């Protein structure tokens, strides 16, 4: 099913994000976790893509497994920075051949801590170039990334939204947001995105906090601000309590987003079903 059909329903669509395991031994356990998450009838499973295309093979292996062994709608991520047209096209053709109908088109970042990395090409500069290329070559339905707290490199939120407009003009039909811990960023962002003339669904990304150090690292990388009162609560809590606070916070965010009419909820799973299951059990989605 294409993105436009998936988000044309009168109830919020649940989607889950997973990443390719480092080795083949990790594939079966991940499929087992996804089987558990099938109970929530997800509209999409998204699969991340390694920065710079260096791990394209691992994404493809996981995508092939999911498409052959689980009857779940897929949205592979694809980054273009440093990649050649040929390697991008080969990925797009492979997934199309498996019956995949959607793609999340991203610029990506050059791999950090990999001094040996050599870009194949500099033909793709921005995600809009990939959206345009994809639209010309295959019939996939395309999504793009949005940043409620501004992309770290952008001069301003408005200039970032102007660039989002370019992605939509090139053919992006849905926007998946960076994670955020304070819904107000999302509500303000959607208002600005609509004011810029974008009508595509904007799907909020939700991270479940289960570990303080991990969330602090994630927040630093993504530049998502942790609200001060939440941070203080997490810092004062024992380890087991952190998980409980995190699950309650994610559930409260989702309840509020649904109340405000969000078209769906995109949950980062970190390849484990347990935390997001606990979150969704606290939320009624109907």
Ligand X SMILES: Cc1cc2nc3c(=O)[nH]c(=O)nc-3n(C[C@H](O)[C@H](O)[C@H](O)COP(=O)(O)OP(=O)(O)OC[C@H]3O[C@@H](n4cnc5c(N)ncnc54)[C@H](O)[C@@H]3O)c2cc1C
Residues that bind ligand X (CB under 6 A): 48-49, 51, 77, 79, 106-109, 126-128, 145, 151, 153-154, 159-160, 163, 166-167, 176, 178, 205
Crossing angle of helices 212-222 and 228-236, in 10° steps, is 150
Cβ nearer to ligand X, comparing 154 with 230? 154
Shortest Cβ 14–ligand X spacing (Å): 15
Q: How far apart, in whole angstroms, are the C-alpha atoms of residue 219 and residue 231?
A: 11
Cβ nearer to ligand X, comparing 214 with 248? 214
Catalytic residues: 17
Cβ nearer to ligand X, comparing 131 with 279? 131
Cβ nearer to ligand X, comparing 123 with 154? 154
Shortest Cβ 47–ligand X spacing (Å): 8
């Amino acid at each position: 099913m294409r993105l436009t059909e998936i988000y044309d329903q009168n109830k919020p669509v649940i989607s889950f994000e997973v990443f390719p395991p480092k080795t083949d031994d990790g594939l079966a356990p991940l499929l087992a976790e996804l089987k558990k998450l099938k109970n929530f009838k997800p509209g999409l499973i998204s699969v991340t893509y390694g920065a710079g295309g260096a791990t394209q093979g691992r994404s493809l292996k996981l995508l092939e497994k999911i498409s052959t062994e689980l009857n779940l709608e897929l949205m592979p991520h694809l980054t273009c920075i440093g990649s050649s047209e040929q390697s991008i096209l080969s990925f797009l053709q492979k997934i199309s051949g498996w019956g995949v109908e959607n793609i999340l088109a991203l610029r990506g970042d050059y791999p950090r801590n990999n001094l040996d990395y050599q870009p194949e090409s500099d033909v793709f500069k921005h995600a809009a170039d990939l959206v345009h290329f994809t639209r010309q070559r295959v019939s996939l339905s395309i999504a793009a990334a949005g940043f409620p707290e501004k992309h770290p490199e952008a001069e301003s939120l408005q200039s970032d939204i102007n660039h989002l407009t370019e992605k939509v003009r090139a053919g992006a039909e849905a926007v998946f947001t960076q994670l955020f811990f304070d819904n107000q960023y999302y509500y303000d962002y959607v208002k600005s995105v609509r004011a810029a003339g974008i009508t595509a669904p904007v799907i909020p990304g939700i991270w479940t906090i289960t570990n303080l150090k991990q969330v602090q690292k994630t927040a630093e990388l993504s530049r998502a601000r942790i609200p001060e009162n939440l941070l203080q609560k997490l810092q004062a809590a024992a380890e087991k309590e952190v998980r409980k606070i995190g699950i309650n916070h994610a559930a409260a965010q989702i309840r509020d987003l649904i109340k405000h009419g969000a078209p769906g909820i995109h949950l980062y799973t970190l390849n484990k079903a347990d935390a997001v299951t606990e979150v969704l059990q606290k939320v009624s989605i109907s």
